[in-house]
């Protein structure tokens, strides 16, 4: 199978990485027989040099076969929850190199041991949902809401947020959640009898409300991105203000473009053809309600592994993940289809384009430069960094400020772990 990722233009690589990108772009094709020997030349000496002190990580959604390449070189593939725990569980790793998006790398850095350094192969890899939910968007709205509701409000943040936004959750007594534990965390938050400001995914928030029995009239849909940042409680129309006051859950209005292409009608198409329909809860609520099951990336992967020969699954999530699942399933006679892949459909399923900016030259360059002691600071991930995903430049806090963010973000992450584990027992 080819390394079927569109080549990035040379000027998309940071200066230190360009010599590696030039070599890669000059290779005659993108077949493993060509790409692997080129990667081996750089990665094998580094792997021999670092041994267990180097940990390579990638998310399931990575395109361009990076998932298979990272596995090939002894790395680990996981969803965002498990990625966040990798530094903690691999204490022997001094250097952790992540091929995914920034918020995932920052979560790893938040939970890392003090001696561990975390890097991202391409700092321009951001999550669009997170990019419309940065601290400068959320904080003024939070202050406005707190002026109205006082301490009677806690913040629940999805994993797809920066460390600074997670710290806001921690400081209010709130928690982080993932697509795998959103129901449990929402139940825990509701049981406290406080108002919940759910950030940033409006769809996951609506799904979690549906799972926990919070009706639409007890939800208030805030805006997202700049529109959300500019909304003010004082400027709401009287009817909207009454709805806000009645709301148990206030939903920030960001979303994932990859997961909002799916439509309820697609579930009918596949079910009529004998497929079981499984979806990710970042999909719109009506899609989740129409599906046979919904859950995290891990849940979807496990469903594929558990399927029996002859089973047919239509999966609604990121395109690279579904393609990898399809390849794996085909080996056991299980048919997996991408749910948006229907004839005459008006939406095409797609991969996470920003995450897939981590390509082989980025991985090779970073590992080789790290071995030379020249890893660029732009790729170093520290808690509280604010990254400009266009330029890749990061604004960094002082170490004292970092500690404050880390402390509160860890609190929110730890509450998630504690509540999730308690619910399992
Ligand atoms: S698939 Fe969507 S939510 Fe996930 S990292 Fe990409 S943009 Fe963000």
Closest CA to 141 of 246, 220, 205: 220
The answer to whether residue 399 sits within a structural domain is no
Rounded to the nearest 5°, which phi and psi values hold at 320? -65, -40
Distance CA 381, CA 61 (A): 20
pLDDT of residue 11: 84
Angle between helices 182-191 and 399-424 (to 10 degrees): 100
What total of structural domains would you count in the chain?
A: 3
Rounded to the nearest 5°, which phi and psi values hold at 256? -105, 120
Q: Domain range for residue 212?
A: 130-257+409-424
Q: Are residues 134 and 249 in the same domain?
A: yes
The answer to whether residue 345 sits within a structural domain is no
- Cα–Cα distances in angstroms (integers) from residue 106 to residues 131, 250, 331, 393, in the given order: 14, 26, 36, 15
> Mean pLDDT lowest for which of 68-72, 96-100, 115-119?
68-72
Instruction: Give the CATH number, domain containing residue 112.
Output: 3.40.50.10800
Pocket test for ligand 1, best of 127, 201, 259 (most atoms within 8 A of CB): 127
Q: Are residues 157 and 236 in the same domain?
A: yes
Helix (H) or strand (E) holding 190: helix 182-191
Pocket test for ligand 1, best of 355, 357, 389 (most atoms within 8 A of CB): 355
Closest CA to 83 of 61, 98, 102, 66: 98
- Cα–Cα distances in angstroms (integers) from residue 36 to residues 24, 42, 73, 368, in the given order: 11, 10, 10, 15
DSSP strand pairing (293-294 vs 276-279): parallel
- Whether 266 is in the pocket of ligand 1, judged by its Cβ within 6 Å, is no
Residue whose CA lies nearest to ligand 1 atom number 8: 127
CA of 202 to the centre of ligand 1 (A): 14
- Whether 283 is in the pocket of ligand 1, judged by its Cβ within 6 Å, is no
Residue whose CA lies nearest to ligand 1 atom number 1: 352
pLDDT of residue 348: 62
Contacts of 223 (CB under 8 A, 6+ apart): 229, 230, 231, 253
The answer to whether residue 1 sits within a structural domain is no
- Whether 129 is in the pocket of ligand 1, judged by its Cβ within 6 Å, is yes
CA of 101 to the centre of ligand 1 (A): 8
Residue 180: CB atoms within 10 A of its CB come to: 20
Instruction: Specify the ligand 1 atom closest to the Cα of 257.
Output: 2
The answer to whether residue 346 sits within a structural domain is no
Instruction: Specify the ligand 1 atom closest to the Cα of 127.
Output: 8
- Percent share of the chain, pLDDT over 70: 97
- Whether 122 is in the pocket of ligand 1, judged by its Cβ within 6 Å, is no
Closest CA to 13 of 396, 376, 382: 376
β partners of residue 201:
254
Q: Are residues 147 and 89 in the same domain?
A: no
Closest CA to 258 of 325, 313, 315: 315
pTM of the model: 0.93
- Whether 61 is in the pocket of ligand 1, judged by its Cβ within 6 Å, is yes
The answer to whether residue 344 sits within a structural domain is no
- Whether 355 is in the pocket of ligand 1, judged by its Cβ within 6 Å, is yes
Mean pLDDT, the chain, whole residue set: 93
Closest CA to 287 of 216, 204, 368, 164: 204
Distance CA 48, CA 148 (A): 58
Give the pLDDT confidence of 364-410 residue by residue, as tens digits. Answer: 999 999 999 999 999 999 999 999 988 889 999 999 999 999 999 99
Give the pLDDT confidence of 268-298 residue by residue, as tens digits. Answer: 999 999 999 999 999 999 999 999 999 999 9
Residue 293: CB atoms within 10 A of its CB come to: 13
CA of 237 to the centre of ligand 1 (A): 33
Q: Are residues 295 and 372 in the same domain?
A: no
The answer to whether residue 5 sits within a structural domain is no
Distance CA 342, CA 349 (A): 10
CA of 133 to the centre of ligand 1 (A): 13
CA of 423 to the centre of ligand 1 (A): 27
Give the pLDDT confidence of 128-150 residue by residue, as tens digits. Answer: 999 999 999 999 999 999 999 99
Residue whose CA lies nearest to ligand 1 atom number 6: 352
Instruction: Specify the ligand 1 atom closest to the Cα of 101.
Output: 5
Q: Are residues 49 and 71 in the same domain?
A: yes
Give the pLDDT confidence of 91-107 residue by residue, as tens digits. Answer: 999 999 999 999 999 99
- Whether 128 is in the pocket of ligand 1, judged by its Cβ within 6 Å, is yes
């Amino acid at each position: 199978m080819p390394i079927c990722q569109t080549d990035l233009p040379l000027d998309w690589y940071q200066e230190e990485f360009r010599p590696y990108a030039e070599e890669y772009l000059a290779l005659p094709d993108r077949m493993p027989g060509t790409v692997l020997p080129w990667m081996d030349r750089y990665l094998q000496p580094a792997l021999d040099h670092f041994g267990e002190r180097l940990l390579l990580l990638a998310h399931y959604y990575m395109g361009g076969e990076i998932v298979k390449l990272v596995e090939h070189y002894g790395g680990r593939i996981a969803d965002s929850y498990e990625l966040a725990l990798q530094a903690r569980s691999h204490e022997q790793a001094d250097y952790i190199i992540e091929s995914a998006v920034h918020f995932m790398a920052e979560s790893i850095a938040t939970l890392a041991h003090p001696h561990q350094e975390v890097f991202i192969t391409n700092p321009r890899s951001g999550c669009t949902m997170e990019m419309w939910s940065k601290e400068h968007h959320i904080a003024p709205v939070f202050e406005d809401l707190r002026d109205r509701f006082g301490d009677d409000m806690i913040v629940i943040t999805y994993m797809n947020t920066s460390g600074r936004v997670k710290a806001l959750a921690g400081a209010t007594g709130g928690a982080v959640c993932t697509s795998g534990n959103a129901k449990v965390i929402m139940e825990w938050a509701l049981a406290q009898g406080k108002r919940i400001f759910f950030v940033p995914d409006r769809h996951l928030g609506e799904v979690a409300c549906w799972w926990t029995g919070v009706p639409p009239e007890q939800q208030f849909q805030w805006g997202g991105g700049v529109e959300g940042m500019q909304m003010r409680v004082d400027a709401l129309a009287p009817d909207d203000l009454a709805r806000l006051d009645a709301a148990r859950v206030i939903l920030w209005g960001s979303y994932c473009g990859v997961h909002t292409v799916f439509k309820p009608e697609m579930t009918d198409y596949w079910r009529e053809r004998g497929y079981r329909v499984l979806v990710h809860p970042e999909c719109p609520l009506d899609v989740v309600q129409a599906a046979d099951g919904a859950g995290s990336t891990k849940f979807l992967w496990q469903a594929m592994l558990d399927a029996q020969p002859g089973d047919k699954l239509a999966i609604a999530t990121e395109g690279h993940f579904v393609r990898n699942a399809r390849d794996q399933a085909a080996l056991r006679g299980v048919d997996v289809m991408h749910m948006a892949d229907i004839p005459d459909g008006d939406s095409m399923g797609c991969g996470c384009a920003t995450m897939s900016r981590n390509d082989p030259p980025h991985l090779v360059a970073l590992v080789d430069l790290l071995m030379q002691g020249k890893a660029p600071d732009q790729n170093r991930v520290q808690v509280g960094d604010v990254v400009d995903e266009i330029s890749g430049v990061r604004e960094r806090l002082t170490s004292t400020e970092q500690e404050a963010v880390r402390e509160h973000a860890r609190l929110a992450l730890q509450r998630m772990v504690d509540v999730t584990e308690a619910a399992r027992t």
